[in-house]
Structure 1
Amino acid sequence: MLSWARKRQLAYGGIVALFFVLVIGAPFFARTIRGPSCIDGRQNGSETGADCGGACALLCPNTAAEPRTIWQRVFPEGGGIASAVLYAENPNKNAGAFDAPYQVKVYDSAGILVAEKRVTALIPSNGTFAVFAPNLFVGERVPVRASFERTALISWHRNVLPLDAVRVERLQFSLIPQPRVQAEIATTLKNPVNATAIAILYDEDGNAVGASQTIAEQVRAGANTPISFVWRAPFARTPVRAEVLAAAHAVR
């Protein structure tokens, strides 16, 4: 017959063994018996790579088309500050990116680098988009050229909201007393979204002369969200037209 001390030792040993089974064995068992998923770090199911392609929202590297640059500009804003814009097109009909990584470099007329900055961009599927880089410190140098370069591969996803998830409505542009753009962001989606809106001003020849960015939060169907942009620094050429590009992302 076991003594009381021996019974207690066996009980403690059983508790320790059960602990190791639950902490170490259970996760291993779960990984072994559960079906394929897009977050298990392995290529399985219909995937064409580890956790990408097939039924996964994430596309595998080099399976999506690269964005096409249409133009890129730098805009002096006075006080030693400039901003820059990349205007591009995403040819992928069903894929976008949440945080495409870019580095913008700004040069003067002698080709000398005067400012650089890393930014990320929300790229909606199937359409034009803009990347805005604000607050570039150029000091007393006069920036004349901007170059946007990707710093890493873009992670393309199928679940990025499409370009038509939000609309720009009631766009108004005026020059008096200051250049100003006013508009409303609308959506027909069931759930509220946030929208990144970039306004671009053009001169009579169609050249971009200024840009600005704002965020419209909690945009809901049936209740448009007003946005506005104001420029205080003078432009080298008078703007005559405004365009606003908006991209939506789900509220987290």
Structure 2
Amino acid sequence: MSRLLKQVVYGLFYLIILAGLVFGAYSLFFKPAPSCTDGKQNQGEQGIDCGGLCARTCTRADIGPIEISGEPQIFHPTASGISVLAKIQNPNSDYGAGRFSYTFKFYDSQDNLIQEVPGESFAYASEIKYLAEFNLSFSGFEQARRAELIIENPEWISSDSFKLPRAALQSAQTSKSDRGTLQVEGRFINNDSVTLPNVVVIALFYSQYGQTAGVSKNEIDNVPPGDSRTFSVIHPAISNIDVSRTAVFLYAKR
């Protein structure tokens, strides 16, 4: 072997060793550790940044978006604010949305955007539910003629891991005061094995002709297992109301 060839071989040998040392040092001291947000399927994950050690469940490609039933309804319960009601449905029987963000957008008669009101909620597998905001007051609310609901960023969870809590309505009675103020009084029970951190009670009021005439809500926090709680939902006077048609809904998250 010529002297020049030996120099080339030895040079390549030392270059390989040096490259190995550099790569090893990078991997040991500088390369980011695998995580659930690195955009790679590693550390035993079932998909990219999901499953395995990651909290986020891997979802199927055919999972459907949360559906909105018609256009949100706007009500004018007082002279100082408006209320809005929307009906949604999770079409997926195997997945619930542990959390999603939503925005109510309000428009005037010329379809100009007046205000956006953000919120957060959840939806169990195959659940049909209402989203409502009561007596909102913002600049220009008097001109609101139309509302739009936008739902974004649902965090899908297997229905086996996100089950509907067993909260049951025990009673509900609607009364009307001499001044016409409506009050829904009732009781519900937590039949589940865990404390419910928050229970939302929504009351829908209907006219004598069966049309939705108003909405109001209340929230009860920290309901232990087996506990029965009373609730009260108030709404200003509504003309031509039929108190016997009032519908009450409970929405709770474990």
* TM, length-normalised to structure 1: 0.71
- Mapping of 1:78-89 within 5 angstroms? 78-89=78-89
- Mapping of 1:51-62 within 5 angstroms? 51-52=50-51, 58-60=57-59
- Mapping of 1:10-29 within 5 angstroms? none
Other structure's SS at 1:141 match: helix
Render the CA deviation track for 1:140-197: whole Å, top value 9, x for unaligned: 72433221112x33121233342x5322220212223421112223222111113222
Other structure's SS at 2:95 match: coil
2:230 aligned partner, one-letter code? P
- Work out whether 1:214 is the aligned partner of 2:214: no
- Work out whether 1:238 is the aligned partner of 2:236: no
1:235 aligned partner, one-letter code? I
- Deviation of 1:64 after TM superposition, in Å, equals 2.4
1:154 aligned partner, one-letter code? P
- Deviation of 1:104 after TM superposition, in Å, equals 0.6
2:82 aligned partner, one-letter code? A
5+ residue gaps, structure 2, are: 1-26
Q: 2:98–2:154: 8 Å Cα contact kept in structure 1?
A: no
- Deviation of 1:87 after TM superposition, in Å, equals 1.1
1:65 aligned partner, one-letter code? G
Report the counterpart of residue 16 of structure 2 in structure 1: none
Other structure's SS at 2:149 match: strand
Q: 1:238 to 1:98 in 2, by over 3 A?
A: same
Q: 1:79 to 1:98 in 2, by over 3 A?
A: farther
Report the counterpart of residue 7 of structure 1 in structure 2: none
* TM, length-normalised to structure 2: 0.71
Structure with greater Cα Rg: 2
- Deviation of 1:229 after TM superposition, in Å, equals 0.5
Report the counterpart of residue 23 of structure 2 in structure 1: none
Report the counterpart of residue 123 of structure 1 in structure 2: 123
- Deviation of 1:125 after TM superposition, in Å, equals 2.6
1:199 to 200, 203, 206: 203
- Deviation of 1:218 after TM superposition, in Å, equals 1.9
Q: 1:181 to 1:67 in 2, by over 3 A?
A: same
5+ residue gaps, structure 1, are: 1-23
- Mapping of 1:21-170 within 5 angstroms? 42-44=40-42, 45=44, 47-52=46-51, 58-60=57-59, 63-71=62-70, 72-134=72-134, 135-137=136-138, 139=140, 141-150=142-151, 152-158=152-158, 159-162=161-164, 165-170=166-171
1:185 aligned partner, one-letter code? F
Instruction: Return the alpha-carbon distance in structure 1 between the equivalents of residues 46 and 183 of structure 2.
Output: 49
- Deviation of 1:58 after TM superposition, in Å, equals 2.8
Report the counterpart of residue 14 of structure 2 in structure 1: none
Q: 1:118 to 1:58 in 2, by over 3 A?
A: same
Other structure's SS at 2:157 match: coil
- Deviation of 1:80 after TM superposition, in Å, equals 3.1
Instruction: Return the alpha-carbon distance in structure 2 between the equivalents of residues 52 and 204 of structure 1.
Output: 52
Q: 1:203 to 1:97 in 2, by over 3 A?
A: same
Q: 1:124 to 1:185 in 2, by over 3 A?
A: farther
Instruction: Return the alpha-carbon distance in structure 1 between the equivalents of residues 54 and 210 of structure 2.
Output: 43
- Work out whether 1:189 is the aligned partner of 2:192: yes
Instruction: Return the alpha-carbon distance in structure 2 between the equivalents of residues 203 and 165 of structure 1.
Output: 31
Q: What is the aligned residue count?
A: 219
Instruction: Return the alpha-carbon distance in structure 2 between the equivalents of residues 140 and 121 of structure 1.
Output: 23
Moved more, 56-65 or 235-244: 56-65
